[in-house]
């Protein structure tokens, strides 16, 4: 159970856990246990903190029947002890929850797989195969004079990105900074704008971006090119883009792997990263992989440092075995290989477990609604709202402290997993 610290009625420098930017400058009022963002909150944050005010009241359930936390943990332990291959999925939690999940997977010989790994692995595979040159948010804020966004619009996933990293006029190196912004793809939705930014949109076919990056690499290297277009845009467009990239003092190519929802999108990411590497033969250019929402980079980081492997790792043989194909939750459920699912989802009540007929143990937000009542449901607190914790930011560098903002009786994911672990050892 979380301790009950004295929470002031106005809290500054609050870190927000609801996207991978983990902005840590929010001002929040907590009067009467009601958490309201007063300043520096984006639409995502406002909605998520507000959602937190309406939940509460629900307690653990076993087969839909209210139960104590101890009984729920004991039932979960019994199910897990009888399991041949449990999947510990979801993993939307903080560092502490990810540590506890790793310990449980090790103890049970289970599989660890984050809810976002299908998208996240598009980047991991590139790291494993060829690597990248990358930068972080403060470098972009101070140095970037050209930002190219590949695929999506950034703002719908990371609402304050432009405000915090591009639209600032004041940098370490002078005032009145400008940064050209180019979207490869649809850009921002029709009718919406980004304050302070007038982007150029190259409305190319995102599914064909790999071909465009290939063309840009050829143009950069001065190789003869026969293609007259790529990704639906004429050669002249790409020619002028590569010239712009070459004269950037500090260019940045941002992408969110979630904006590439097509087969083998890792090859698109890889061609993007290889282009950025080649731009560094003469000048400076960096990639900016944007992710980290739902704690995906957090879980990946923790499990990487503990075992050498991130998502989709099985401990079934007593050693960590990573396999992006074999150890996906979806495949293990579809093929009937998994026999118990533990679903951890403490950041967003909409991220419910995938449909399955096997016994499911859910550690979820209190307001979570299910199509099929899980065998065990244990409501957990949200890190950064109900209890303290830590979350990694999109850049894999900065881990920010989250704080408790309201009185709460909800246990953390780490607390519940510790209770289940203790029940396992007693059996």
Angle of the 117-129 helix axis to the 265-279 helix axis, nearest 10: 40
38 and 350 in contact (C-beta within 8 Å)? no
Residue 92 vs residues 124, 200, 395: alpha-carbon distances, Å: 18, 35, 18
Site string for other proteins, 372-411 (x = CB under 8 A): ------------------x-x--xxxxxxx----------
Q: How many CB atoms lie within 10 A of CB 184?
A: 26
Q: CA 378 to CA 76: how far, in whole Å?
A: 10
406 and 35 in contact (C-beta within 8 Å)? yes
Question: Which is nearer to other proteins, 214 or 401 (by Cβ)?
Answer: 401
| Binder of other proteins out of 301, 347, 363, 417 (CB under 8 A) | 301
Question: Which is nearer to other proteins, 142 or 207 (by Cβ)?
Answer: 142
Q: CA 129 to CA 91: how far, in whole Å?
A: 25
Query: Which of 81, 118, 21, 155 is closest to 361 using CA atoms?
Result: 81
Q: CA 94 to CA 368: how far, in whole Å?
A: 18
Site string for other proteins, 55-84 (x = CB under 8 A): ------------------------------
- Please report whether residue 320 would count as binding other proteins according to CB under 8 A: yes
Question: Which is nearer to other proteins, 83 or 348 (by Cβ)?
Answer: 83
Minimum distance from CB of 327 to other proteins (Å)?
13
Q: What sign does the CA torsion over 288, 292, 296, 299 have?
A: positive
- Please report whether residue 311 would count as binding other proteins according to CB under 8 A: no
| Binder of other proteins out of 30, 93, 119, 307 (CB under 8 A) | 307
| Binder of other proteins out of 255, 260, 309, 343 (CB under 8 A) | 309
Minimum distance from CB of 141 to other proteins (Å)?
6
Count the site residues for other proteins by CB under 8 A. Answer: 63
Instruction: Tell me the three state secondary structure of residue 93.
Output: coil
The strands making up 251-256's β-sheet, listed across from edge to edge, are 200-202, 180-184, 146-150, 251-256, 285-290
Question: Which is nearer to other proteins, 187 or 384 (by Cβ)?
Answer: 384
Q: Segment near other proteins (CB under 8 A), from 79-87, 193-201, 228-236, 298-306?
A: 298-306
192 sits in which H/E element:
none
Q: Segment near other proteins (CB under 8 A), from 59-67, 95-103, 149-157, 200-208?
A: 95-103
Largest CA distance in the chain: 71
| Binder of other proteins out of 2, 7, 11, 25 (CB under 8 A) | 25
11-26: b (≥16 Cβ within 10 Å) or e: beebbbbbbbbbbbeb
Please work out, in degrees rounded to the nearest 5, the angle formed at the alpha carbon of residue 236 by the alpha carbons of 230 and 240. 110
Question: Which is nearer to other proteins, 169 or 234 (by Cβ)?
Answer: 169
Instruction: Scan residues 265-284 and list those touching other proteins (CB under 8 A).
Output: 280, 283-284
Question: Which is nearer to other proteins, 254 or 368 (by Cβ)?
Answer: 254
- Please report whether residue 332 would count as binding other proteins according to CB under 8 A: no
- Please report whether residue 129 would count as binding other proteins according to CB under 8 A: yes
Q: CA 225 to CA 217: how far, in whole Å?
A: 10
Query: Which of 68, 14, 111, 11 is closest to 313 using CA atoms?
Result: 111
- Please report whether residue 128 would count as binding other proteins according to CB under 8 A: yes
Instruction: Scan residues 132-171 and list those touching other proteins (CB under 8 A).
Output: 132-139, 141-143, 164-165, 170-171
Q: Site residues (CB under 8 A) for other proteins? A: 13, 15, 24-25, 95-96, 99, 103, 106, 124, 127-139, 141-143, 164-165, 170-173, 249-250, 280, 283-284, 286, 300-302, 304-310, 315, 318-322, 390, 392, 395-401
């Amino acid at each position: 159970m979380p301790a009950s610290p004295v929470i002031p009625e106005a809290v500054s420098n609050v870190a927000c856990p609801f996207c991978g930017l983990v902005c840590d400058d929010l001002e929040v009022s907590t009067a009467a246990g009601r958490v309201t963002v007063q300043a520096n909150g984006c639409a995502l944050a406002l909605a998520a903190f507000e959602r937190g005010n309406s939940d509460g009241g629900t307690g653990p359930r076993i087969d839909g029947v209210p139960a104590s936390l101890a009984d729920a943990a004991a039932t979960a332990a019994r199910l897990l002890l009888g399991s041949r291959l449990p999947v510990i999925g979801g993993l939307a939690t903080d560092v502490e929850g990810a540590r506890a999940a790793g310990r449980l997977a090790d103890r049970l010989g289970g599989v660890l797989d984050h809810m976002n790994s299908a998208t996240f692995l598009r980047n991991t595979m590139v790291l494993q195969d060829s690597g990248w040159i990358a930068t972080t948010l403060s470098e972009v804020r101070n140095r970037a004079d050209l930002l190219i966004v590949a695929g999506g619009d950034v703002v719908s996933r990371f609402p304050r990105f432009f405000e915090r990293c591009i639209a600032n006029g004041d940098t370490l190196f002078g005032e009145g900074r400008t940064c050209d912004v180019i979207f490869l793809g649809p850009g921002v939705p029709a009718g919406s704008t980004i304050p302070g930014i007038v982007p150029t949109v190259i409305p190319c076919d995102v599914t064909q971006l790999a071909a465009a990056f290939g063309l840009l690499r050829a143009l950069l290297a001065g190789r003869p090119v026969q293609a007259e277009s790529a990704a639906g845009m004429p050669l002249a467009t790409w020619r002028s883009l590569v010239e712009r990239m070459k004269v950037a003092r500090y260019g940045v190519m941002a992408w969110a792997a979630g904006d590439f929802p097509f087969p083998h999108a890792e090859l698109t990411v890889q061609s993007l990263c290889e282009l950025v590497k080649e731009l560094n033969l003469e000048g400076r250019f960096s990639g900016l992989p944007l992710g980290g929402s739902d704690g995906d980079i957090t879980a990946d980081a923790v499990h990487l440092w503990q075992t050498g492997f991130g998502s989709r790792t099985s401990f079934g043989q007593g050693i960590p075995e990573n396999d992006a194909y074999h150890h996906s939750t979806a495949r293990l459920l579809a093929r009937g290989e998994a026999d118990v699912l533990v679903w951890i989802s403490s950041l967003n009540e909409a991220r419910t477990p995938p449909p399955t007929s096997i016994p499911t143990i859910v550690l979820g937000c209190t307001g979570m609604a299910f199509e099929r009542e899980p065998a065990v449901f244990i409501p957990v607190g949200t890190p950064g709202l109900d209890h303290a914790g830590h979350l990694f930011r999109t850049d894999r560098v900065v881990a920010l402290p989250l704080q408790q903002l309201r009185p709460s009786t909800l246990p953390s994911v780490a607390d519940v997993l510790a209770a289940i672990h203790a029940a396992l050892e007693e059996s």
